[in-house]
Structure 1
Amino acid sequence: MPVMVYYCPPPSVQMVVYGFPAAPPPAAAPATRRCSITLIEEGGAGDEPIELKAGDEPSPRKAMAPFRLALPPPTPPAPAASALGFTASTSSLMIRNIPNKFRKERIIAILDQHCADENRNLRSRSRGVKSEYDFLYVPIDFRTRCNKGYAFVNMTTAAAALRLRGFLQDHRWDAAQCPKVCDVVPAAIQGRDAFVAHFSASWFPCHTKAFLPVWFDPPRDGVQQTKAHVVGRIVTRPRG
């Protein structure tokens, strides 16, 4: 007849070494902390047009996003410039999705600061071509006196054009309280002379030359003084 044996293990006994207290139980693992959303205070006014004054250096890159994940997800790599139509001779750019209340003076201030910063970096490296521009046109809706959301600029070299694109591409205008995301592409017209020839025969139905295209001599580099030459003609309409 089989015999059944039941075995009961003894209760666990904490070993105590004479002269030493028992080791404390292990501490509980800390609770996992989730990613938090941090509010970033940002300065600057809204997207109301401003007058360019001496010493003003508004920068679009200072317009930080108001909300940002503490651990943002990785962003996919940007497509190569060549895949977007840029060539070794592309110097003229169309800057799209800018705040509609930005005047030409505001765009000039942004471009001036970018050129000044880039040229300062070039001097420290003692090599490379300058960042400077010699043509700018910010199309205006003459009824609302606001820009149409885009601008044309000609940089003096293709290298400077690529640097400007890298500076503005995918920029968010949060400090201007504008949800647009900046997009920079090659312009259909390339070169300052081509722009001047295109707009020289144009008529603009407005009452001020401030809304017309301009070219600069010498080119603007953010530091030296230049003279602006207006392109095109004004045709005034009777006020009714």
Structure 2
Amino acid sequence: GVPPEASEAPVAKSMPGSLSRPPFGERTTVVLQNLPLNYRRQMLLRMLDVEGFAGEYDFVYLPMDFKTRAGFGYAFINLVHASTVARFWGVFDGYSKWMFPSAKVCHVSWSQPLQGLKAHIKRYRSSPLMHLSVPDEYRPVIFSGGVRVSFPPPLKEITAPSQKAL
């Protein structure tokens, strides 16, 4: 599929009958939706790498339910370069080659309202999600050159999350 453009984005001018798709613009953060609920972050990272995107992403967050230890079925991925988004979208919109049997079919959409690595770091660095009591696999992670790096330190003291808040 082709990513829909924001309503405020200029519409691409094309020749009548042209099959050109609209420009992707500068957005880099997408949401993978309809993931198997038992997918874990390491499985997601492996899937991204196996499908040819190793080193192409710098932020990944797979929200998890602390009580059931299951995912919520979606993940935020920030790609390093906007030029990679079209290829990523083409691979994962309609994706169903999961590591185990599942009828789920992935759908890709734009992350809203946050876009870009800086916005996601700002959103999560002082979040209760980053508290030391939260297991690492439930936290967002950042990468540089395909290698995981430490999240920047919080800007304020982090309180432990309430179990239902996650």
Q: Tell me the TM-score normalised to structure 2 length.
A: 0.72
Q: Is the 8 A contact 1:84 1:185 kept in 2?
A: no
Q: How far 1:208 moved relative to its partner?
A: 1.3
* CA apart distance, 1:201: 2.1
The aligned residue for residue 122 of structure 2 is: 197
Query: Which residue of 152, 166, 170 maps to 2:76?
Result: 152
After superposition, what is the alpha-carbon deviation per residue over 1:28-62, rounded to whole angstroms, capped at 9, x for unaligned?
xxxxxxxxxxxxxxxxxxxxxxxxxxxxxxxxxxx
Superposed CA deviations along residues 103-152 of structure 1, whole A, max 9, x for unmatched, are 000011111222358xxxxxxxxxxxxx6111110001011011110000
Q: 2:65 aligns with which of 141, 149, 155?
A: 141
Does the 8 Å contact 1:209/1:230 carry over to 2? no
**Structure 1 stretches of at least 4 aligned residues deviating more than 3 Å after TM superposition:** 83-87, 230-234
Give me the whole-angstrom Cα distance separating, in 2, the residues matched to 1:112 and 1:137.
15
Q: Give the corresponding residue for 1:68.
A: none
1:207/1:234 contact within 8 Å kept: no
Q: Please name the residue that 1:235 is paired with.
A: 160
Across the two proteins, how many residue pairs are aligned to each other? 140
Q: Distance in 1 between matches of 2:140 and 2:115?
A: 15
Which structure would you say has the larger Rg? 1
Cα RMSD over matched residues? 2.7
Asked which structure has the greater RCO (Cα within 8 Å, sep 6+), the reply is 2
- CA deviation vs aligned residue, 1:135-193 (integer Å, no higher than 9, x gap): 11000101101111000010011121221111111122566222221000111111001
- Whole-angstrom distance in 1 between the partners of 2:28 and 2:88: 10
Counterparts of residues 7-46 of structure 1 (less than 5 Å) = none
Equivalent position SS for 1:165: helix
1:186 aligns with 2:110: yes
Q: Secondary structure at the match of 1:90?
A: coil
- Is the contact made by 2:24 and 2:85 (CA closer than 8 Å) also made in structure 1? no
Paired letter, 1:151: A
Flag structure 2 segments of 5+ consecutive residues without an equivalent: 7-22
Unpaired segments of 5 or more residues in structure 1?
1-77, 118-130, 221-225
The 5-angstrom pairing of residues 48-127 of structure 1 reads 78=1, 80-81=2-3, 83-85=4-6, 87-115=24-52
